[in-house]
Structure 1
Amino acid sequence: MIQPISITSIASISAIGSSQNEIWENYLLNNHFLSEKEVNGMPVFVGQLSEENQQKITELRKSDAKYRSLDDAVLFAIFVSREAVKSSNWESESNFGVNFGSSRGATTLFEKYHKEFLETQKSSTLSSPTTTLGNISSWVSHDLQTFGPEISHSITCSTALHSLLNGVAWINSGMSNKFLVGGSEAALTDFTIAQMQALKVYAKQNSSLNSNCHSELVEEFPCKSFDLNKKQNTMVLGEGASAICLEKGIVENSLATISGIGFATEVLQHNTSISTDAKCFQKSMKMALGETALDEIDAIVMHAPGTIKGDQSEVNAIQKVFGEKTPFLTTNKWKIGHTFGSSGMLSLELGLLMLQYQQVIEVPFAVKQIHPKKIKNILINAVGFGGNAVSVLLTKS
């Protein structure tokens, strides 16, 4: 059992927007926010920031001479951390902890500096300090002028929710009463996308022509996350970041409480494999549920990356755990792409919004489901390479 921990604010930036009102309004739309970008001379689908939000990051970069040499992954993290802390009224605090993670880290700068090295056999002075993993949390802490612990880590696509786990652990230990946790990803680079294409998981331009979905809208969607009838993988890489503020106990301005956490790994058959019934998810969900009755869970925001095996294995795991009491299922990757290390927190944001507005968000091309009459408990799932699954149970305050 964990002691009650409140989420007092959340902030994000992604293809779907950067303000909570804008993000919710865009979730209510049936269209996606993916676009095309030229990568290695070929057009590919990506979930990139809007021009307006790109400008916000540009302004942040120009606001401080020290920030001009930072990777977008770091700037994304600074941007959402400022917004989250402001919303929680932590401006005067100086002792909260920071745990920010990323799957790929400073991808743009790393590729840039490595290319320069291959061409000149020399390395830039800033190549090391601007590409280290700890670069993210340390700059967030610097920007916020906090004196609490600062932690960075990378656990592939479950990174952001592992940040949450760590924040919960620090608060439960009594070593901290407040923690800022999140994930950031800015990996829409040639090499990163080429890696995903090499794994044969990336969406192709004609992916919409190879599906037996139940909607006439199907041809409009490059990523078929939670389409269990797709004939090929349709993962689309996105960029973005999200941060939440955690506080000990149930506080007055709580958006929701974390009433359960779960985590698990499984024995791998391959570097990127997951079992057909995602045993890691079964374990993490059961751990997060604890003594909560199955029929008390109103919805699950799935990881569902848009791959054939990834989507199906998670659904299989959910059915193994819940049986006939399977809650409403949804995901956001068809809208914004798979944002790797920040994806779990962006899924959690969707869960918080559904709790706040008491409305579930459908995947328009998925099989129709019965909507819950009320929404009190939502389970959030994330998993990364290596079978590192995390489940978080959110309860309406």
Structure 2
Amino acid sequence: MTNARADEAFIIIRGRGRVSALGEQAFPASSDSPFSTHPNGLPVATLPPATEAAVAELRRAHPAYRQLDRTVLLAILAARQAATDAGWNHDQQPTTYNQHALTVSIGSSRGATHHLEQYHEEFLREGSVPAAASPLTTLGNVASWVAFDAGSADGAALSHSSTCSSAFQALGNAVAWLRAGMADRYLAGGAEAPLTEFTLAQMQAIGIYSPFAAGTWPCRPGAGRPSTFTLGEGAAVFALERVAATTATTEAAATHQPLFRLESVGFGFEAIGSKTGISADGQHFQKAMRQALQQAGRELHEVDALVLHSPGTPAGDAAELAAVQTVFSGSPPLLLSNKWLVGHTLGASAALSLDFALQILATQQWPVAPFPTYLATAPKQPIRRILVNAAGFGGNAASALVSLV
């Protein structure tokens, strides 16, 4: 249990929700590959039938929701789960939270991808677009609709886009607002639905897409060559509260249930002249990890495991590994990844990685990758604290440090 000063406050992850190729589960329910084959022949990590049915039901649940982009719907589904898990619902109403100044921050790399491409196709074909095209394709409509569904009448609704670290930009914003007393309760996370012809073609054009079939675990972080980047869709949202440290430690001891603390979110940037903005030694990763540890006042040996960004690209994986080796002086903690399970979900990837870390803290175990890789296979000691990395095009990286109270 964490030793806490009486005047200290913790940022607690009170609830969490997620949707991905694993459905609404954090870990796979079977040993079968969750990937499927897109109509264009590429392997992708799309939602399973049960979750797809939940998306369809949500779309029918409210007249306004019939016009929303798929990214927005995934964010709403994950946010509802997080609020329910946190116990914020009341009167059995699934979309009304009993809150004071509930604030929402959602990250997404592309935003309303499906709608944007659909409206553009209509414009090329017909020379006009409907009036809803502009408001329904702005990035801001992701967080605003989550806030609407949450019944947040007076809290801020903020959307973030920093490519694949977008969810941690949202999470860092949540930490700052909660610590400053600008919000009492916060929904933060990321959502992305990028499985469109055009987006998949973009990933192919970079030359990083996996050559492996869907049933053979096409995304293989830490496996070296060839590149095994595989696109996925999903969302993860967290219900956050600022709680006195003594209250949190008392609650954890009394309930004997896992209580998660978000200790810090660090950021790192490097502006270099490349398409991806990543140096061979991962300078932005180094800065983000060091900042996260410094903010939390933690030493290297206090980190038990590290969930890598690990997109499955040889250059990206190698740069991150080099950064980890540098920061941890050649003795890194256990290295983990969930992209071989859910694919690379762009702006949602950091949030799903964090959810994966929380599941490890709760269960003290994780699924083992069925291919040669440097990812860890089992814990060597109790896992109490995990660092989670994320990075995106443009030379930006972020690291979140989470622990058990």
- Fold-level similarity (TM above 0.5): yes
1:101 to 107, 122, 146: 107
Find the counterpart in structure 1 of residue 182 from structure 2.
175
| Conserved 8 A contact 1:9-1:255 | no
Matches within 5 A, 1:1-397: 3-18=9-24, 22-26=25-29, 30-39=31-40, 43-90=41-88, 91-146=97-152, 147-205=154-212, 220-227=216-223, 229-230=224-225, 232-249=226-243, 250=245, 251=248, 252=251, 255-290=259-294, 291-365=297-371, 366-367=373-374, 369=376, 371-397=379-405
Paired with 2:74 and 2:136, the residues of 1 have a C-alpha distance of 14
| Conserved 8 A contact 2:106-2:191 | yes
Paired with 1:117 and 1:174, the residues of 2 have a C-alpha distance of 46
Deviations 1:285-330 (A, max 9, x none): 1111123221221100000001110111101100011124211001
Q: Which runs of 5+ in 2 are unaligned?
A: 1-7, 89-96, 253-257
1:288 maps to a residue whose letter is A
Q: Kindly report structure 1 stretches of 4+ aligned residues shifted beyond 4 Å.
A: none
TM-score using structure 1 length:
0.90
| Conserved 8 A contact 1:188-1:239 | yes
Paired with 1:30 and 1:387, the residues of 2 have a C-alpha distance of 35
Quick one: structure 1 residues 368 and 191, their matched pair in 2 at CA, closer, same or farther if it must change by over 3 Å?
closer
| Conserved 8 A contact 1:31-1:335 | no
Deviations 1:39-58 (A, max 9, x none): 3xxx0010000011101000
Paired with 2:37 and 2:346, the residues of 1 have a C-alpha distance of 19
Shift of 1:261: 2.1
Paired with 2:130 and 2:387, the residues of 1 have a C-alpha distance of 45
Q: Which runs of 5+ in 1 are unaligned?
A: 209-218
Shift of 1:17: 1.6
Deviates further, 30-39 or 306-315: 30-39
Paired with 1:25 and 1:341, the residues of 2 have a C-alpha distance of 21
Q: Identity of paired residues, percent?
A: 40
2:39 maps to a residue whose letter is E
SS in 1 for 2:42: strand
Paired with 1:241 and 1:94, the residues of 2 have a C-alpha distance of 25
RMSD of the TM alignment (CA)? Answer: 1.8
Paired with 1:155 and 1:234, the residues of 2 have a C-alpha distance of 23
| Conserved 8 A contact 1:330-1:361 | no
1:240 maps to a residue whose letter is G
